[in-house]
Amino acid sequence: MLKKLIKVLIIDNSAIAQTVSADLYDQLVARVTLLASGAEGLALAETEMFELVCVAYAMTDMNAEDFCCQLRNLPGYEHATVILFAAETDKVALKEAMLVGATDVVSKNNVEQLKHYLHRHIERLTRNIMGKVLLVEDSPSQQLLIQHLLEQMGLEVELYTSAKKAWHTIQQAETQYDLVITDTILDGEMSGVALVREMRNNLNEEIETPVLAMSAIDEKSRRIELLHLGVNDYILKPIVREELQARVGNLIENRRMLAEIMEQRKMLEQLALIDPVTKLYNRNAFNDIGPKQLESAARNNIPLCLVVADIDYFKRVNDEYGHIRGDAVLTEMGECLKSYIRRGDLVFRWGGEEFVLLLACNAKKGAVLVEKIRYKIAQTKFAQVSITASFGLSWVEPGQLKHLHDLFEQADKALLQAKSGGRNRVCVYSDDAL
């Protein structure tokens, strides 16, 4: 969706203003009208609506304080954004301008900084917000007004007059709403406050749905109570279009950014724990998950086997067929191992041509299963290459506590025994055999 071009009025006859105006035009982010005097600007504002007004502190015919006072009295400009361009640093005068209606003051001394500031401000005014909003409001006129303002922003709106019905819908929704807006006081057995309490206490959300509370009562204690309850923002009635749209835009944008950050974090975690070649868990994952599996087995009084598998003479595969074919062999080997594991079992790529399996069974059953895997590998071509594998197995008895390092070391010793015994075989760790 293309962003709309907002209308910008600049009242400043300096060369800097002309540079800024040309930049906004060239970048196609705004339709700019450049005037020299405050009187011209006020006359044009009476007949045309501008989303952004930029005005020099010192104009040819009036100062910024007078201009802001007169502009704020024009219909539609009560809450318009007015940016004051200031070259001097008279803090008292600038404060007076802010008090009579300037939204912000920026310096004209750094042209690039000024252009960047205006681009960012225009971007906020023109951002396309997509999302689904649930609105709970029992006043038909207020509901209609707020729905209209939200739809102006491009949002999809679901309307409810009852907090109880809204809560039922939130519970049943397959996907989260991007924002919930509710009046705090509603007709019926559930208030807006109770709705927020139910949401925060009973929804198991990875990212909390933001809530914007509305009220005609301006009490500091009420606002603090709502914030403690879990409301993200608060707006007073009667609703002001610019304020509502700014608060709604910020809440939805913040939720979107948080979702992106969490998704990126998951991707980074996956990269840290997943082997890129075989897509199996890697050594980092084994070191993280392995101790938890051991603790769980001991706590639940179940046996556990640790198996180290090594492809025999894998270096020959890389030397004869190349590393791309070698990676394909590793990938298909991983798929073969996964096809044999059951619920509760795990398979990891340890590194190189070695794999590790954690099996929720005793040594006897584990040895039988691993022998089936060994036989399958010997009878199968992986990426059109015939291979064999050697296996070493160690185990813990039900309820037995053992350190992961010790368990792995025992399986590794059994693997060495399998290799020294001619490879392509399964050896179970035994103190007597060593």
Q: Which of 84, 106, 126 lies at the terminal end of a domain, its last residue?
A: 126
Q: Are residues 36 and 53 in the same domain?
A: yes
Q: Are residues 122 and 145 in the same domain?
A: no
Measured distance CA(233)–CA(175) in Å, rounded = 22
Q: Are residues 288 and 423 in the same domain?
A: yes
Measured distance CA(174)–CA(107) in Å, rounded = 49
Q: Which two tokens stand for residue 17?
A: 């203003």
Q: 183: which strand partners?
A: 214
Answer whether residue 277 is part of any domain.
Answer: no
Measured distance CA(195)–CA(164) in Å, rounded = 7
**Per-residue confidence (pLDDT) for residue 411, from 0 to 100:** 97
Report the share of the chain in percent with pLDDT over 90: 63
Contacts 24+ apart (CB under 8 A), 253-262: 253/127, 253/129, 254/210, 255/178, 255/179, 255/207, 255/209, 255/210, 256/131, 256/178, 258/207, 259/207, 262/206, 262/207
Q: Which two tokens stand for residue 322?
A: 């190349």
CA 344 to chain centre: 30
Measured distance CA(207)–CA(184) in Å, rounded = 23
Mean pLDDT, residues 154-159 taken together: 94
Q: Is 4's pLDDT higher than 70?
A: no
Q: Are residues 64 and 142 in the same domain?
A: no
Q: Are residues 407 and 327 in the same domain?
A: yes
Mean pLDDT, residues 99-127 taken together: 78
Answer whether residue 271 is part of any domain.
Answer: no
pLDDT in tens, 266-285: 888 878 899 999 999 999 99
Q: Is 433's pLDDT higher than 60?
A: no
pLDDT in tens, 26-85: 666 678 899 999 999 999 999 999 988 989 888 889 988 899 999 999 998 988 889 888
Q: What stretches of 65-173 adopt beta strand conformation (E)?
A: 81-86, 104-107, 132-136, 156-160
Answer whether residue 244 is part of any domain.
Answer: yes
Q: Is 20's pLDDT higher than 90?
A: no
Q: Which two tokens stand for residue 272?
A: 């840290």
Mean pLDDT, residues 187-211 taken together: 92
Mean pLDDT, residues 242-263 taken together: 91
Answer whether residue 1 is part of any domain.
Answer: no
Q: Are residues 157 and 90 in the same domain?
A: no
Expressed as residue numbers, the domain containing 220 is 132-265
Write a three-state SS string for 218-249: CCHHHHHHHHHHCCCEEEECCCCHHHHHHHHH
pLDDT in tens, 332-368: 999 999 999 988 899 999 999 999 999 999 999 999 9
Q: Structurally, how many domains does the chain consist of?
A: 3
Q: Are residues 370 and 399 in the same domain?
A: yes
Q: How many CB atoms lie within 10 A of CB 301?
A: 10
Q: 112: which strand partners?
A: none
Q: Position 240: which residue type?
A: V
Q: Which of 201, 230, 265 lies at the terminal end of a domain, its last residue?
A: 265
pLDDT in tens, 282-292: 999 999 999 99
Asked if residue 317 lies in contact with residue 325, where contact means CB atoms within 8 angstroms, the answer is yes
**What is the H or E stretch that residue 118 is in?**
helix 111-126
Parallel/antiparallel/unpaired status of strands 132-136 and 156-160: parallel
Measured distance CA(217)–CA(223) in Å, rounded = 10
Q: Which of 14-18, 19-23, 57-61, 68-72 has the highest mean pLDDT?
A: 68-72
Top-confidence residue, 89 or 73: 73
Q: Are residues 155 and 245 in the same domain?
A: yes
CATH classification at residue 238: 3.40.50.2300
Among residues 360, 362, 333, which one has the least CA distance to residue 349?
333
CA 81 to chain centre: 30
Mean pLDDT, residues 410-414 taken together: 97
Q: 319: which strand partners?
A: none
Q: Are residues 291 and 419 in the same domain?
A: yes
Q: Are residues 136 and 113 in the same domain?
A: no
Q: Are residues 67 and 121 in the same domain?
A: yes
pTM: 0.60
Answer whether residue 239 is part of any domain.
Answer: yes
Q: Which of 236, 265, 294 lies at the terminal end of a domain, its last residue?
A: 265
Q: Are residues 61 and 137 in the same domain?
A: no
Answer whether residue 433 is part of any domain.
Answer: no
Answer whether residue 192 is part of any domain.
Answer: yes
Q: What is the mean pLDDT of the chain?
A: 90
Measured CA to CA in angstroms, residue 433 lies from 218, 362, 413, 417 at distances of: 81, 19, 10, 9
Top-confidence residue, 415 or 344: 415
Top-confidence residue, 15 or 370: 370
CATH classification at residue 405: 3.30.70.270
**Per-residue confidence (pLDDT) for residue 1, from 0 to 100:** 42
pLDDT in tens, 164-185: 999 999 999 988 999 999 999 9
Helices (H), 230-304: 241-273, 283-299
**Per-residue confidence (pLDDT) for residue 2, from 0 to 100:** 44
Measured distance CA(338)–CA(350) in Å, rounded = 14
Answer whether residue 274 is part of any domain.
Answer: no
Among residues 239, 254, 51, which one has the least CA distance to residue 149?
239
If you write DSSP's letter for every residue of 335-396 in order, what string do you get?
HHHHHH--TT-EEEEEETTEEEEEESS-HHHHHHHHHHHHHHHHHSEETTEE--EEEEEEEE
Report the share of the chain in percent with pLDDT over 70: 95
Asked if residue 379 lies in contact with residue 396, where contact means CB atoms within 8 angstroms, the answer is no
Mean pLDDT, residues 215-234 taken together: 91
